[in-house]
Amino acid sequence: MATERTLSIIKPDAVAKNAIGEIIARFEKAGLKVVAAKMMHLS
């Protein structure tokens, strides 16, 4: 059985509004499991 994976990128305005926790909670409520998270500043 193949494993499916999803990449999610949270936009800067959501980070500025401190909505990261709510977004991750929505993923978990939908039955998705967050296995890694990384915060980067892109230029």
pLDDT above 80 (res 1): no
Contact (Cβ atoms closer than 8 angstroms) between residue 14 and residue 20: yes
pLDDT tens sequence across 8-36:
999 999 999 999 999 999 999 999 999 99
Determine the Cα–Cα distance for residues 38 and 25; give it in Å rounded to an integer: 16
Instruction: State the pLDDT confidence band at 43, using cuts at 50, 70 and 90.
Output: confident
